[in-house]
Amino acid sequence: MRLVATLTILVISLTVSSSAFAAKTPQERAIDARQGMMHLRAFNLGPLIAMLKRDIPYDADQAGQLAANLQALLNVDMRSAWMQGTANDDYPDATDALPAIWAGDSDFAGHHQKLVDAVAKLTQVAGDGLDALAPATKAVAQSCKGCHDDYRAD
């Protein structure tokens, strides 16, 4: 519960406190919102990867909390941040999102579901040691990479 409250306060303070944010178009705000969400995801996935690389010591409590944070972030409904007309062909200096996201044959939702499934597994095992953490974290990272490979400009 504390995590959800903290994330809520963070999101509200970021959106309310920025006068520049208010001056942007709805499309630019959507781009900012989804990039902010991606930064939060990376902020929580990064230490898990660092644990696997042994750049930082494995900490079961921290690993569990980071996985729970990722799960909480996936529970935030971000569909409005993915509005059509916010791809890199419309906003080349603001986003790397490819127009293919919105194409009729897009499997963008399938990629998101792979991430949801991978994070669900990660939350179950994150505190069970490096041997359990490694494949679950790699599955999350691979789901991120798979979507970025298909739907993010180089």
Q: What is the CATH number of the domain that holds 109?
A: 1.20.120.10
Amino acid at the residue 133: L
Q: Residue 73: which of 138, 26, 3 has the closest Cα?
A: 3
pLDDT of amino acid 118: 98
pLDDT of amino acid 23: 80
Of the pLDDT bands very low, low, confident and very high (cuts 50, 70, 90), residue 80 is very high
Res 115 pLDDT > 90: yes
Res 132 pLDDT > 90: yes
Residue 20 lies in a domain: no
Q: How many domains does the chain have?
A: 1
Mean local confidence (pLDDT), 93-112: 96
- Of the listed ranges 9-13, 28-32, 138-142, 146-150, the least confidently predicted one is 9-13
Distance (Å, whole) CA 69 – CA 73: 6
Distance of CA 66 to the CA centre of its chain: 12
Distance (Å, whole) CA 70 – CA 6: 14
Res 20 pLDDT > 60: no
Q: Residue 133: which of 41, 40, 38, 54 has the closest Cα?
A: 54
Residue 10 lies in a domain: no
Of the pLDDT bands very low, low, confident and very high (cuts 50, 70, 90), residue 154 is confident
Residue 66 lies in a domain: yes
Residue 61 lies in a domain: yes
Residue 38 lies in a domain: yes
Res 71 pLDDT > 60: yes
Mean local confidence (pLDDT), 134-152: 97
Residue 15 lies in a domain: no
Q: In terms of residue numbers, what domain contains 89?
A: 25-151
